[in-house]
Structure 1
Amino acid sequence: MPRQPAYHRAQRLTVPPPLPKVAFLQFGQTLNAMTTAENLDQPQIAITLPDGNVRTYAAGVTGLEIAQSISKSLAKAALAVTVDGEERDLSRAIEHDAKVAILTRDAPYALELIRHDCAHILAEAVQQLYPGTQVTIGPAIATGFYYDFARDEPFTPDDLVKIEKRMHEIVDADSPFTREVWDRDEAIAHFKSIGEHYKAEIIGDIPAGEKITIYRQGGWYDLCRGPHLPSTSKIGHAFKLMKVAGAYWRGDSRNPMLQRIYGTAWRTEKELAEHLHQIEEAEKRDHRKLGREMDLFHLQEEAAGSVFWHPKGWTLWQALERYIRAKLKEAGYLEVRTPQLYDSSLFKASGHWDMYGDNMFKIRESVDDQGREKFLGLKPMNCPAHVQIFRQGLKSYRDLPMRLAEFGACHRNEPSGALHGILRVRAFTQDDAHIFCTEDQVPSEAADYFKLQLGVYKDLGFDKIAVKLALRPDVRAGSDEVWDKAEQGLRDALTANGLEFEELPGEGAFYGPKVEFHLTDAIGRTWQCGTLQLDFVLPERLDASYIGADGARHRPVMLHRAILGSFERFIGMMIEHYAGKFPLWLSPVQATVCTITSEADAYAEDVAKVMAKAGLRVEVDTRNEKINFKVREHSLAKVPVLVVVGGREAENRTVALRRLGGKDQELLSLDDAVAALKLEARAPVPSEGVTEAAF
């Protein structure tokens, strides 16, 4: 994530200015750093290394000098340094006692540095090749970097080839990155004088009197907070320019349209090749493309962000819903159904109106005699509604835990530019549930949820799962004491269940921290799906209570939990994970009976009836087409089993089974084939107490 709120880390300049009155620091400049053996009259500072070892140096020592004092190999591999957790250039002076770590190419932050520097190299290459182009901003992003340019003539694919070639040349030049500190007002005047109006505007947003930093690489320089690699050659050649897109200046449609060049960058050529292969696979697996080919769903502008489910797609949805419903019944959940439209007073009481209101759809219902507007809101989530069910009637501690589940339809006002197929929509269904319990019951309820969650993921074909704990955001409800208790409660629950996890500061919901489950799909992409949130706030805000063993009223603890998250998003993710080749129990059409000749038409219909009676989802293809044509067409539709019949099969009451992607056929009696497919097509078997009819 970017680490620079005041102005972007990757702001660029164009040509060297006449030197203004600035203080500057050359990257390779020696800063009079001394070890204890030299110039002991200088102030000494204590540097604590990651292994706990403490070394003494003269104040002003640089990260590079510390690395050199440890070993030549470390100094050669060093890319940057952290000082008390802050990333810095190797050349920056350290003036006080600090904890210091030398960052090499294997460090997690190194990849962001490489991508950050690639953005600088891209901007320099563009301005060398296309003089007069203005540069604006260019950050590192999840898999690479981008840069926005102001240029009248559009960039072409051929331009990207030229730019990328020049970038490799700049890397090979091995120009050092050097840092300079400039006066803000002089910098604004300079940029205006050379026609860099976007740069002048960016710097104008910086508070008056604040110094700014410039980084040079050879004859080109850039407005940037840093840090940077020691020189351009440290970037390596594992990068590639990907595409050009339009982007409004500062994301505002009232501003000029810029041209954004995207690139990807990695540590090694092998990582780059793997990423490009992943992109190629992702294009083949795109759920929108497969959704059309398999006739599952469609989207259209008249209902932006909402899905039109076709019969086959809805069959897939129902198979998944039946499976989840059976799992919930087995786990002791009670299914409910709640309204979608509520008076604004409920969402104001819950906190959603103020803290989540921009993401809600609001409807003006009326205006009263005093001119005050009355609003209704479509629910963006189910939790306030479930509290209303809990509050109906007096609840006792004996009623807890109470687990309320809902396949709840929700709406969120997502920006149109953020919508993406069925992965990012405005109207969606959550497999949502809320557990009302006592504090003492939280550990066991969390343990049961983790077991349920991980079991479902395994059944659905996901075995690579990362667990993350999202902590308090800046804007939140509830006191710090309540948040301390909630966050520690989830830490304890994760630890007690042997789940390793990463903490995500600032990523929690406004009413509570949450555990996130991130699934890795078949081509290595990660998807955030299920969550568990521990909430002391909402029961308080909505006045939920139960009668304890002492006869007094108590607030329940509320566990918000989802397994799939959004049905739409999870199905889209599964389409891409399986490349449309679903396991038999989930496949919308499990088998298609295909005839070789018309003389087998009657038998094909009979076969289909037998299979349907056994509970299989089956279709019949008796068209007057060659069998190879039928195989290709149904393979494109990802039908897992083709049941091929001809005159001989009709006579012997046999079938030839052909699997999706295979070339061989298996000849079986009709009864044996149906029995085998029926067994294979069963959903993952639930525990005792949930009947097969639930599926």
Structure 2
Amino acid sequence: MTVMVEGRSVDVSDGASAASVLQQALSGKKFKAVVAARAATAGAQTLLDLSSPLPDGCTALEPVYADSPEGLAIVRHSTAHVMAAAVKKLYPSARVTIGPAIENGFYYDFAVERPFSSDDFEAIEKEMQRLADARLPFERTTMSKADAVRKFADMGENFKVEIIDGIDADTVSLYTCGDFTDLCRGPHVPHTGFAKSSKLLSAAGAYWRGDEKNPMLSRLYGTAFADDKALKTYLAQLEEAKRRDHRKLGRELKLFTFHEDVAPGMVFWLPKGMLLRTILEDFWRREHLKRDYDIVQGPQLLRVETWQRSGHYDHYRQNMYFTQIEDDQYGIKPMNCISHMLIFKNDLRSYRDLPQRYFELGVVHRHEKSGVLHGLLRVRQFTQDDAHILCAPEQLEGEILNVIHLIRDLMQLFNFQFKVAISTRPEDSIGTDEAWELATNALIEAVKKADMPYEINEGDGAFYGPKIDVRLLDCLGREWQCSTIQVDFTLPDRFDLTYVGQDGERHRPVMVHRAIMGSLERFIGVLIEQYAGAMPTWLAPEQARVLTVVDACNDAAQKACDELKALGIRATADLRNEKLGFKVREAQLEKVPYILVVGEKEAQSGGVNVRLRNGDNVGLKSVAEVAAMIRADAEEPFKRGGMSYSFS
């Protein structure tokens, strides 16, 4: 038979392996980078080991290269096996469980007498390198479930026995590299040499199958790449991410703190952090007023019957908190949509009143397990940049486009790139097929008109409607879930929302749920990491710090500070009897954009010597000139888009 490989036609004999076919079509250099193959038949596509024979009816064979996303996943999963082989060699009593590839790496869980720590990494990595240098083949075998159970039971691997018992099939596949055999579907790389560019990263505890009632296991995390250069680049990126970690910078810059003993997953905002947040909130409120939103606020608690009516109780209650007041049960709000609908119902609405755009920086609570809490990025109490637009169906596309423009403006302000996905109807949903189709088509058409590339994320919509999800990319290329636009025909129906149309009849509005920043806590956390704590001048809680050289300059420094404040600049004065170099260094570490020094010469002239936080020395300037510099610096990012900044 004939098989197509990257545009070439290859004659294939019966029983030929994927490797033999690819060798005929690819150069030696390209073939060495192949870790698996994808075979196409009339009915399906199948991922194969290179040693596997081609399936019957194969018409095309696609090489999977080690540096492709699919290839990297195979390299990482295979490296997890190599790591497990190394662990079993060094710690024979260790029992193995599962070791999947994950984003940017892999892990493997072990049952061991003593949990692993970073002290064990050197020995494990040395053994992994020995196995990689040996280029041991990954060999696949299949056997009956019963034989596999006996095999792993004889090996003392009770966790594998439990996994096999849960497999709904007559046979299972096993992979062997050297002395180590593991239960696995595959495919795997041809040999262990593909695991050479790897690194262990951390150790942690993990319950078997994620259930706290089960035994605690020891988890080893690692990463692997197609070559050493890619690995070194990633490890350097990890080090940079550590330097930018918002939790570390939040402590150093005195922006926020946590008290896990009294309020786990809830933020305590310190004065500088609260000022930063207030600046961001004030800007965002002004921006919404400019775009014809009405600012509203709803209560924190609503009777549980309201959440039952909306569907949140059935579909979302595991993420909610509840409380009892007298004889009534209340739900603490995890979002603001119900309150906004009730505000809409407060008056009789005409088509002339539409659209109604309600904006709220609403404090919400969501039940998150302690294991997923992560600084500002995952908390239990947060402020949601939330808005709901109630409009006539014919206005829907235009309103979605307006929100898309707002998203673009915000991303441009902070210089973020972003990706867009349209998430469609999940299995656990409410509403009619017709409503879902209308809503999904409206999102797709709006994204097309906005000329935004997008992908379809099947089955990941909200339970009441499809959505556009926007993931921003920070300076390290990491993705963060940020904005969302959700179209909802169902909740307006459940809450009997109506408006009087031109025909004098009652009509049902459609509701757009949208968040641009999303959680303010998460957004601020991302910003801290994006800028490594050195916030843009407009957002910096302290824009300028006036430093003295000697005590005799204190009055002049304080006067300069007061004049800056009067001109709308957020300034402080450091009058401590410390060496100037110490005070300058401290201001730089605290990421103050403008460091203003007052010595005898400056005191006599009524000016300040201007230094920037990056170390540049601008020289002697008057207070008015410095204020103008700071103002221009603050306004500069807003010149890129449709937003404006005002000093207050």
Contact 1:59–1:94 (CA under 8 A) maintained in structure 2: no
Secondary structure, aligned partner of 2:324: strand
- The amino acid of 2:362's aligned partner reads G
1:403 correspondence with 2:357 = yes
Secondary structure, aligned partner of 1:79: strand
1:166 correspondence with 2:127 = yes
User: Residues of 2 paired with 1:487 and 1:680: CA distance?
Assistant: 42
Shift in alpha-carbon separation, 1:57–1:477, aligned structure 2, 3 A: farther
Aligned position for 1:393:
347
Please point out which of 459, 480, 485 is paired with 2:413: 459
User: Residues of 1 paired with 2:646 and 2:134: CA distance?
Assistant: 70
Aligned position for 1:553:
506
1:573 correspondence with 2:530 = no
Aligned position for 1:14:
none
Please point out which of 222, 233, 242 is paired with 1:283: 242
User: Residues of 1 paired with 2:46 and 2:287: CA distance?
Assistant: 47
User: Residues of 1 paired with 2:251 and 2:165: CA distance?
Assistant: 49
Deviation string 1:458-515 (CA, Å, 9 cap, x unpaired) is 11232x2222222222322223443333223222211111101122223221122221
How far residue 409 of structure 1 moved from its aligned partner, in angstroms, is 0.7
Please point out which of 514, 539, 548 is paired with 1:586: 539
Secondary structure, aligned partner of 1:511: coil
- The amino acid of 2:557's aligned partner reads A
Aligned position for 1:314:
274
Contact 1:59–1:95 (CA under 8 A) maintained in structure 2: no
- The amino acid of 1:431's aligned partner reads D
Equivalent pairs, count:
641
Aligned position for 1:471:
424
Q: 55-64 vs 440-449, which deviates more?
A: 55-64
Contact 2:412–2:640 (CA under 8 A) maintained in structure 1: no
Deviation string 1:223-243 (CA, Å, 9 cap, x unpaired) is 01112222222x252210112
Secondary structure, aligned partner of 2:422: strand
- The amino acid of 1:336's aligned partner reads V
Matched ranges for 1:637-648 at <5 A: 637-648=590-601
1:146 correspondence with 2:107 = yes
User: Residues of 2 paired with 1:693 and 1:677: CA distance?
Assistant: 13
Please point out which of 283, 289, 292 is paired with 2:251: 292
How far residue 668 of structure 1 moved from its aligned partner, in angstroms, is 1.0
Please point out which of 19, 23, 46 is paired with 1:64: 19
1:329 correspondence with 2:289 = yes
User: Residues of 1 paired with 2:646 and 2:322: CA distance?
Assistant: 41
1:123 correspondence with 2:84 = yes
Contact 1:113–1:227 (CA under 8 A) maintained in structure 2: yes
1:438 correspondence with 2:392 = yes
User: Residues of 2 paired with 1:395 and 1:210: CA distance?
Assistant: 63
Deviation string 1:50-101 (CA, Å, 9 cap, x unpaired) is 76x9988677665335434544556554322334344332315412466653
How far residue 649 of structure 1 moved from its aligned partner, in angstroms, is 1.1
How far residue 555 of structure 1 moved from its aligned partner, in angstroms, is 2.2
Aligned position for 2:497:
544
Contact 1:182–1:211 (CA under 8 A) maintained in structure 2: yes
- The amino acid of 1:81's aligned partner reads A
Shift in alpha-carbon separation, 1:69–1:439, aligned structure 2, 3 A: farther
Contact 1:178–1:216 (CA under 8 A) maintained in structure 2: yes
Identity of aligned residues (%): 43
Matched ranges for 1:209-248 at <5 A: 210-233=170-193, 235-248=194-207
How far residue 647 of structure 1 moved from its aligned partner, in angstroms, is 1.9
How far residue 114 of structure 1 moved from its aligned partner, in angstroms, is 0.8
- The amino acid of 1:63's aligned partner reads A
Runs (5+) with no aligned partner, structure 1: 1-34, 37-46, 368-373
Deviation string 1:432-474 (CA, Å, 9 cap, x unpaired) is 1111122322222222211111111211232x22222222223
Aligned position for 1:358:
318
User: Residues of 2 paired with 1:689 and 1:514: CA distance?
Assistant: 25
Aligned position for 2:382:
428
User: Residues of 2 paired with 1:558 and 1:439: CA distance?
Assistant: 9
Secondary structure, aligned partner of 2:108: strand
Contact 1:330–1:686 (CA under 8 A) maintained in structure 2: no
Aligned position for 2:367:
413
Shift in alpha-carbon separation, 1:384–1:615, aligned structure 2, 3 A: same
Secondary structure, aligned partner of 1:387: helix
Secondary structure, aligned partner of 1:131: coil
Contact 1:326–1:686 (CA under 8 A) maintained in structure 2: no
Shift in alpha-carbon separation, 1:49–1:559, aligned structure 2, 3 A: farther
Aligned position for 1:201:
162
Deviation string 1:174-221 (CA, Å, 9 cap, x unpaired) is 2222222221123223322221111111212224x6321111223321
Secondary structure, aligned partner of 1:94: coil
User: Residues of 2 paired with 1:217 and 1:49: CA distance?
Assistant: 29
Contact 1:326–1:694 (CA under 8 A) maintained in structure 2: no
- The amino acid of 2:22's aligned partner reads A
User: Residues of 1 paired with 2:582 and 2:6: CA distance?
Assistant: 65
Structure 1 length-normalised TM: 0.87
Please point out which of 594, 606, 612 is paired with 1:653: 606
1:512 correspondence with 2:465 = yes
Deviation string 1:535-575 (CA, Å, 9 cap, x unpaired) is 22222222222222233332222111111101111111111
- The amino acid of 2:351's aligned partner reads Y
How far residue 357 of structure 1 moved from its aligned partner, in angstroms, is 0.6
User: Residues of 1 paired with 2:18 and 2:424: CA distance?
Assistant: 32
User: Residues of 2 paired with 1:510 and 1:266: CA distance?
Assistant: 38
Secondary structure, aligned partner of 1:240: strand
Shift in alpha-carbon separation, 1:243–1:684, aligned structure 2, 3 A: closer
Please point out which of 28, 36, 40 is paired with 1:80: 36
Contact 1:61–1:95 (CA under 8 A) maintained in structure 2: no
Please point out which of 461, 474, 480 is paired with 1:527: 480
Shift in alpha-carbon separation, 1:127–1:105, aligned structure 2, 3 A: same
Secondary structure, aligned partner of 1:187: helix
How far residue 172 of structure 1 moved from its aligned partner, in angstroms, is 2.3
Secondary structure, aligned partner of 1:420: coil
How far residue 619 of structure 1 moved from its aligned partner, in angstroms, is 0.7
User: Residues of 1 paired with 2:31 and 2:620: CA distance?
Assistant: 68
How far residue 375 of structure 1 moved from its aligned partner, in angstroms, is 2.1
Matched ranges for 1:600-639 at <5 A: 600-639=553-592
Shift in alpha-carbon separation, 1:72–1:597, aligned structure 2, 3 A: closer
Contact 2:37–2:48 (CA under 8 A) maintained in structure 1: yes
User: Residues of 2 paired with 1:167 and 1:560: CA distance?
Assistant: 50
Runs (5+) with no aligned partner, structure 2: none
How far residue 246 of structure 1 moved from its aligned partner, in angstroms, is 1.4
Alpha-carbon RMSD across the aligned residues, in angstroms, is 2.5
Secondary structure, aligned partner of 1:586: coil
